[in-house]
Structure 1
Amino acid sequence: MVSLWGSKNGEAEEREESAQSREPSRHSGGPEPDERSRLLPPRNDGYLDPDDPAVSPYNLWSVRALRYLCVLFLFITFLWWVLLLVSIFVSPPMMHSRGSGFFDFSYTTLTLGNLMVAILFFAIPSKPMEWGSLVVAFFLLVDMVIILAVPRLRIEEGWVGIASVVWATLIALYNVLTDRVVAWGKREEEERLTGRKETRRSLREWCGVLTALIIMVILIIVSIFLTATLILRSRDAGLAAPGERFYVDGDKYQLHLACVGNTTYDSTGQKIPTVLLEGGENPVEDTMEKWVYNAYQNGTIDRYCYYDRPGLAWSDNAPSPHSAGMTSDALSETLAIAGEEGPWVLVSAGVGGIYSRIFSSRQKGLIAGILLIDALHEDLLHTIGSPSRGFLLWARGIISPLGYDRLFGAIAKGRKPADRVYGRDAYQGGKFIKAKLQENLVADSLTKNEVSQARNIQDDQTPLVVVSSGINVRRDSEWERKQKDLCTLTKRLIGWDVVNAAPHDVWKTLKGREVLEDRLGALVKPKE
């Protein structure tokens, strides 16, 4: 019994000593545990099954560190994405973009998508993901070069847009590096733990590869559209602006102002008023300026000036929020810098009537007359300030950097830069959409209060002419009542003309142009 018990104890001790001899000892001067041995549990001699959870690239600290970095980058990008989303509605200090602000948001959204794909399919590296990330990085690199090389784009995007595209490019390149490192780690661990490189994939892995491939194809398509739209913008940036741009509001952005004709004086030596145009829903260059230029050529008027509200045509976008009163103040600052002193005959259409009325109330003594063309009444501001319209404008702005409609117009219809800057396609641009979104956000609050105050302090001796669309008046009794109410803005109503068969843009009919030119001449050069 004693010998049997002793033999058993001896065998156990021998096995323990044998195991200890195979196990590296820190105290005996053996090799220190490396990054694999720290993470892997002790194993028996021989290879593991390929499906064993221990066969994973996560065994390597380098692979784990890359994944931790991906999570960190995702967190940073998400915070930046939220900040850019907020800046569309309220501009944080030092983050105002003179462009639309939608491009930097798009680049950051693309970066989020890139990082999420990398994290979700981190342990399933594949050639489609690697090459997809490389293609995305290439197009983003092209975008970065275009923005930095074209002065106008560099100014419009500012440091926010440049930082967003640079970050997107670096993350795309980082994803390529990550995919290659994980693929290497996976191969290394398979060869070490199973004895060979694994060539098969499980159904779950194939589904992951397919899903990642689909997402990467979408990201590549988005990158191509972003680059193509940026190329169009760089081409449009070469279109020279008539007149000049002037910095306003503490040099935060520029307004475009142009004047045609020379200052003239009447027989008594009094300066003849200059016509100041205020566009309606669209840039003034493609709408009112044409018939006013004809009046200038006909000698009806001697001089006129026009400007672009923030975000329209050649003007930059203003910080958000931005009301009609802020635009009027910016116009006053622009005219002062340009050395334009008036007096003015204000001509405005549609929603531009709101801006002209505010400007008139703040420029007492300089306004020689007001001509309202089917102008919007302050009681109807809710039509452009509705939440549903604001949401549609925001959604339209988010996808505007893809530029699919502008690209189609340029490729299939041969549309030129003038069409996109101020013409028929101007409404498709991000700057225009941002301006309309800003208008929407404060139309029924700040702007309505400003125009209501303007009505109370308006000089009631200012000559006034109201010209209305016959189509709108007949179709909408509420519109007719509000047009009639506009005739009471001052006590010197020269006339109210309802032009039959004329649309909202009254000058689009021959009769409308004749009435407008006749009324404009009466305001600029009144007969005694």
Structure 2
Amino acid sequence: MAWTSERTSDDPEAVGHPLEGARTAETVESTQPPSYGSTSEDLHEEGHEENGHRDSEDSITEEDAPLLNISADDPAVSPFRHFKIRTIRRLTYLFLVFSIIMYLLFIISTFFTIPKLNTHGGNFLIMMDMLIAIGNLGISLQSFAIPTKSGRIMNLVMIGFLLLNLILVVSVNKLRNYEGNVFSVLVNLWLLFSVAWIQFCNYMVERSRVTLEVQVSGHEFTGASRAKKSWKMWFSLVWALIVLAFLLALVVLLTLSILVDSYDSRLSPPGKYVQVEEDLYRIHIYCSSSSVAGNETDNGNYTGTTILLEPGSVSAETFARSLIVPEVAEGSRSSIENMRYCYWDRPGLGFSDNAPSPMSAGMAIDALSDGLNAIGEHGPWILVSEGLGTTYSRIFASRHSGSVTGLVIIDGYDEQYYVNQVSKASYGFGYWMHGFISPLGIDKQLGWIFGGRTSADRVYGRSQSVSGKYNLARFQEQLAAKTFTKNEIIAAADILPRYTPVAIISSQAKIREIPGWADRQRALYQGGVSDANVAWEIVENGNNVWDSANGRHIVSDIIKQTLEYSA
């Protein structure tokens, strides 16, 4: 209701609230601020009762209007006076709590997979999505009552990038397999919804604040809020904009990373995808042609021994292309010219999907066994492994002793060395942290732009560590090393027949660099794996004995000797 005071504007109580001399007329007609219990409809009616139907010339534009001589944090213009604004803020708190709970569940799922809360490409991308949602909701609550045009613009840009991310994940075939299951799509939609919700909140709060300022000032503004902001509010605004800009940068990096992954998806696997563990995930297995001269039946089926590769420090594709493929190409000059070979990507490596956690060496070998049976590969096998891959090949040999004719171990790990190296907490923490930031693709972008890295480098080559898939697989190795895998190694040593032929190949460079390496290699040869010792060769080469033609020839000769020993 309108009222008239004979006090001058110099009197701080002239209008019943702290306008502090904003009006300079001798007689001031004003609207008393409505009580905190007033609804938005009440405010509208009171404004109409006082001002009637204003002519357009009474409206003040954003450019011409002075700032209201009242603080923006004054209760008279607080948007929280409106019930709908208070309700919107409570819902935002609820969405924030939900996002935090889901984020914690995602973290737990990297240690012990919660059913339906994992993807085939690891959980790091959906974790980053949920973290961005938490950041957006949190910073919006911190500056909820003072929305800005800059914040709304950044939110709109963010929505555009997130829509592009969702389209790519759903439409690109390989991305859809790794990151596009129903659950992952729901997480992407939740992030998109959270940003759109903040945009809606900003609009509603700004509309509410301007409405209240109209009631207090007696003027109708066509622009944004005109109330003065205190230094605390300015600090809160600047901080909110900095955080929002940071979150927008994260979303842009996510989009660039997904674009690179989309480009890499054109790289096709050389072998077959095989569903394992009751179709929980896929592994990639490659076997060379079954028709090899000198070792085939009338119907073309291969009858000889197949080399089964198990790498450790490099990917299976790199191991095969560096060691076996050049030797086979040598023809009659190689000892393995007429032999088939197979290799596979362990879960999370190369072209294979990530497996649920925990994933021990024995669990991985179970998946390999299922995959080989599914494609009709039953051996006989000669196992060629290097580094920590030795652990996997020994477990495979113990579970398939009837079809394994021998083992060739290159710079192999014994049980204690494997546990000491792989089970280090720093080892697992480093891979987890690298996986955590991997969705941003910073290493991926730098390697592509400045390092000349190719799709093959990123999928299975020298830059495969840029993917979250790879880092989760290595983290799973560390997680299970001291418990499941250690017991599986002990069991394998007891089960493997002592008459299984074993040959050891060691790098002279590693013997010089690693204290006690020669003793560990000697122990493997002298009964550490089997009593049927074929040979122990020390190769004068770099850390990888297959990097030189001489090293490859030695490996192929040892494979031939091992086969002859078992005959």
Give the TM-score normalised by structure 1.
0.88
Match of 1:515 in 2: 554
Identify the match of residue 406 of structure 2 among 369, 381, 389.
Answer: 369
Match of 1:287 in 2: 319
Task: Note closer, same or farther for the CA distance 1:166–1:280 as it changes in structure 2 (3 Å cut).
Answer: same
* Greater shift in the superposed pair: 267-276 or 413-422: 267-276
Structure 1 residue identity aligned to 2:366: D
Task: Note closer, same or farther for the CA distance 1:433–1:268 as it changes in structure 2 (3 Å cut).
Answer: closer
Q: Percent identity?
A: 33
* Greater shift in the superposed pair: 506-515 or 106-115: 506-515
Match of 2:195 in 1: 172
Structure 1 residue identity aligned to 2:166: M
Equivalent pair of 1:125/1:182 in contact (CA under 8 Å): yes
- Structure 1, residues 157-200: CA drift from partner, whole Å, max 9, x if none? 22232111110011111111111111111111111123345253
Match of 2:536 in 1: 496
Structure 2 residue identity aligned to 1:384: V
Equivalent pair of 2:379/2:403 in contact (CA under 8 Å): yes
Structure 2 residue identity aligned to 1:201: K
Match of 1:230 in 2: 258
- For 1:73-472, list aligned pairs within 5 A: 73-157=95-179, 158-196=181-219, 198-262=226-290, 271-299=303-331, 300-301=335-336, 302-380=339-417, 381-472=419-510
- 1:496 Cα deviation (Å)? 0.8
Alpha-carbon distance in 2 for matches of 1:477, 1:49: 77
Alpha-carbon distance in 2 for matches of 1:262, 1:526: 24
* Greater shift in the superposed pair: 467-476 or 312-321: 467-476
Structure 1 residue identity aligned to 2:343: Y
Gap regions ≥5 residues in structure 1: 1-21, 24-31, 39-44
Task: Note closer, same or farther for the CA distance 1:192–1:291 as it changes in structure 2 (3 Å cut).
Answer: same
Alpha-carbon distance in 2 for matches of 1:268, 1:144: 52
- 1:33 Cα deviation (Å)? 6.2
Q: Secondary structure of the residue that 2:538 maps to in structure 1?
A: strand
Alpha-carbon distance in 2 for matches of 1:406, 1:397: 12
Alpha-carbon distance in 2 for matches of 1:114, 1:34: 29
Q: Secondary structure of the residue that 1:312 maps to in structure 2?
A: coil
Task: Note closer, same or farther for the CA distance 1:469–1:210 as it changes in structure 2 (3 Å cut).
Answer: same
Structure 2 residue identity aligned to 1:495: A
Alignment pair present for 1:50 and 2:73: no
Alpha-carbon distance in 1 for matches of 2:297, 2:170: 55
Structure 2 residue identity aligned to 1:294: P
Structure 2 residue identity aligned to 1:284: A
Alpha-carbon distance in 2 for matches of 1:500, 1:413: 30
Task: Note closer, same or farther for the CA distance 1:325–1:36 as it changes in structure 2 (3 Å cut).
Answer: same
Equivalent pair of 1:111/1:172 in contact (CA under 8 Å): yes
Match of 2:57 in 1: none
- 1:296 Cα deviation (Å)? 1.9
- 1:267 Cα deviation (Å)? 11
RMSD (Å) for aligned C-alpha atoms: 2.4
Alpha-carbon distance in 2 for matches of 1:331, 1:266: 25
- 1:105 Cα deviation (Å)? 0.3
Structure 1 residue identity aligned to 2:534: I
- 1:323 Cα deviation (Å)? 0.2
Structure 2 residue identity aligned to 1:61: F
Alpha-carbon distance in 2 for matches of 1:352, 1:366: 19
Alpha-carbon distance in 2 for matches of 1:244, 1:210: 54
Match of 1:42 in 2: none
- 1:466 Cα deviation (Å)? 0.5
Equivalent pair of 1:324/1:354 in contact (CA under 8 Å): yes
- 1:477 Cα deviation (Å)? 3.7
Q: Secondary structure of the residue that 1:318 maps to in structure 2?
A: coil
Alignment pair present for 1:68 and 2:90: yes
Equivalent pair of 2:69/2:227 in contact (CA under 8 Å): no
Equivalent pair of 1:288/1:507 in contact (CA under 8 Å): no
Alpha-carbon distance in 1 for matches of 2:284, 2:273: 4
Match of 1:28 in 2: none
Q: Secondary structure of the residue that 2:502 maps to in structure 1?
A: strand
- Structure 1, residues 92-124: CA drift from partner, whole Å, max 9, x if none? 122231112100000000000000011000001
Equivalent pair of 1:49/1:194 in contact (CA under 8 Å): no
Aligned residues: 491
- Structure 1, residues 65-85: CA drift from partner, whole Å, max 9, x if none? 111110010011111111111
- Structure 1, residues 177-224: CA drift from partner, whole Å, max 9, x if none? 111111111111111123345253222222111111111110111001
Structure 1 residue identity aligned to 2:351: W
Task: Note closer, same or farther for the CA distance 1:49–1:365 as it changes in structure 2 (3 Å cut).
Answer: same
Alpha-carbon distance in 2 for matches of 1:96, 1:71: 26
Equivalent pair of 2:435/2:471 in contact (CA under 8 Å): yes
Alpha-carbon distance in 2 for matches of 1:122, 1:266: 75
Alpha-carbon distance in 2 for matches of 1:320, 1:162: 21
Equivalent pair of 2:322/2:546 in contact (CA under 8 Å): no
Alignment pair present for 1:34 and 2:39: yes
Structure 1 residue identity aligned to 2:373: A
Gap regions ≥5 residues in structure 2: 1-30, 44-49, 52-67, 220-224
Task: Note closer, same or farther for the CA distance 1:366–1:187 as it changes in structure 2 (3 Å cut).
Answer: same
Alpha-carbon distance in 1 for matches of 2:488, 2:291: 32
Equivalent pair of 2:284/2:345 in contact (CA under 8 Å): yes
Q: Secondary structure of the residue that 2:516 maps to in structure 1?
A: helix
- Structure 1, residues 273-319: CA drift from partner, whole Å, max 9, x if none? 00001111221112343221122223432210110000111100000
Equivalent pair of 1:50/1:194 in contact (CA under 8 Å): no
- Structure 1, residues 319-365: CA drift from partner, whole Å, max 9, x if none? 00000000111111100000001000000110100000000000011
Give the TM-score normalised by structure 2.
0.83
- 1:49 Cα deviation (Å)? 7.0
Task: Note closer, same or farther for the CA distance 1:266–1:288 as it changes in structure 2 (3 Å cut).
Answer: closer
Alpha-carbon distance in 1 for matches of 2:75, 2:280: 58
Alpha-carbon distance in 2 for matches of 1:289, 1:146: 32
Equivalent pair of 2:69/2:228 in contact (CA under 8 Å): no
- 1:525 Cα deviation (Å)? 5.3
Match of 2:21 in 1: none
